[in-house]
Structure 1
Amino acid sequence: MKEVGNGRHTSFWYDKWCDLGVLAEILGDRGIIDMGVRREATVEEVLNNHRRRRRHRGASLQDIEKELGKLAEKQSNSELDKDLWRWSSGFKQKFSTMETWQLIRETGLQCDWGSRVWFSKATPKFAFITWLAFKDRLSTLDRVSRWSQGIDTTCVLCKNAPETRSHIFFECAVSSHIWEQLTKGIMRNSYSNSCETVMRLISASMEKKKRFCINYALQVAMYFLWRERNKRRHGEPPMPLSVMLKLIDKTIRNKLSLVQGKRVKGLEEVLQFWFSTRL
């Protein structure tokens, strides 16, 4: 918005200089004729050309004439026009990226598991795949079939059921075995291979090293399962289940060793904790 000083650098039609809004958007091309103001006019020109105030039938035109009258009373020839930026609390001269973003974004419901995916010490590529999976935005075959009719939606890992988000990461014979081997020793009686239950579980309150192990194991498993799924979809030979499980476990142990070496508070003995939960 423009705060008018002398009006010299404020467009009458295309700048927002009053609370009514941008006049060109309100009145359109017809407004130029009704107001008797040329398209390129500045606010200074309109106020200083000694134009006689017109009587209009339209309420919008009458409101504009009122705004011009108010502006004429406080116009200052010595002050320059100022650019104002919209904040949630009104217009200010200072620009804020955060305020602008909050005003233009579409806010949605805040997910309670977001901080459990994007947590400190997470590996970005693992977290990204997990985020897409939890949002159900990966190109699983049940989603692909919506825009490509007639494709085979059978899971390429187990070849026994249609491929969905929940199936490929938790319910498939391959993924279920991997998930059980990784986390059953940690979760004990709360163990589940239901996607919805796991999403609720990672948001629950628990000991820091336990939560880190579960969350990180989940992300590594989902990443390697999705990579193996894509390889098989493109004709590459399958990786033996035992080899994949060892690779996932080694990746997790390497991360836990690195985190423990940095002496992160609450994770000082996280690697020992991981070994103690192996079945």
Structure 2
Amino acid sequence: MDRVSKWSLGADTTCILCKNAVESRNHLFFDCDYSGQLWKSLTMGILLTDHSKNWSVITSQISDSSRGGKSGFCIRYSFQAAVYAIWRERNRVKHGEKPMPIAMLQKLVDKGVRNKLSLMKMVKGGAMVDGLEYWFSTRV
């Protein structure tokens, strides 16, 4: 991304997902319109007024030890799932596949988060026993 332009003169560094800016870590995660929509769909109901698309703010939020329990887990897991999905989608498009509509990617990642929470619900006495219900309550 940022380094590619230094390694390979003439390499196209335009974001392959939105085609509106130079691809950098900060742009791809989550300043890009495409990835920003995914991040917003996953976290707006949890973070509310603290919601941000800024990388530094997001990494600070997921590192904040005071945000524990269901909220903290859901933010951290959403971050992991979103970063993985965006990077995978970027690579798919980079290698010639058609971009996945953002609504489809949102549903796919949301389903992954719900599946994880559903599996955690099966662990009796665990802190995340009602995590899935919490997740549903945050969907806006």
- Report whether the alignment pairs 1:162 with 2:17: no
The counterpart of 2:52, out of the listed 192, 202, 211, is: 192
- Post-superposition CA distance 1:206-234 (Å, at most 9, x none): 23111110000110111011001001111
Which is higher, the Rg of structure 1 or of structure 2?
1
Q: How far apart, in 2, do the equivalents of 1:239 and 1:193 lie?
A: 21
- Post-superposition CA distance 1:24-64 (Å, at most 9, x none): xxxxxxxxxxxxxxxxxxxxxxxxxxxxxxxxxxxxxxxxx
> What letter is aligned with 1:274?
W
Higher RCO (CA < 8 A, seq sep 6+) = 2
> What letter is aligned with 1:149?
L
Cα 1:169–1:268, aligned 2, differ >3 Å: closer, same or farther? Answer: same
RMSD: 1.0
Q: CA deviation at 1:159?
A: 0.1
Unmatched runs of 5 consecutive residues or more in structure 1: 1-139
Q: CA deviation at 1:260?
A: 1.3
Partner residue in 2 for 1:232: 93
The counterpart of 1:171, out of the listed 9, 13, 31, is: 31
Unmatched runs of 5 consecutive residues or more in structure 2: none
Q: CA deviation at 1:189?
A: 1.4
Query: Would you say how many aligned residue pairs link Structure 1 and Structure 2?
Result: 139
SS of the equivalent of 1:185 reads: helix
Q: How far apart, in 1, do the equivalents of 2:68 and 2:79 lie?
A: 17
Q: CA deviation at 1:156?
A: 0.2
- Report whether the alignment pairs 1:260 with 2:121: yes
Correspondence list, 1:1-279, <5 A: 140=1, 142-204=2-64, 205-263=66-124, 265-279=126-140
Q: CA deviation at 1:259?
A: 0.8
Q: How far apart, in 2, do the equivalents of 1:263 and 1:185 lie?
A: 26
Deviating beyond 3 angstroms after TM superposition, the runs of 4 or more aligned structure 1 residues are none
Q: How far apart, in 2, do the equivalents of 1:235 and 1:206 lie?
A: 40
SS of the equivalent of 1:202 reads: helix
SS of the equivalent of 2:18 reads: coil
Cα 1:177–1:264, aligned 2, differ >3 Å: closer, same or farther? Answer: farther
Q: CA deviation at 1:264?
A: 5.5
> What letter is aligned with 2:60?
R
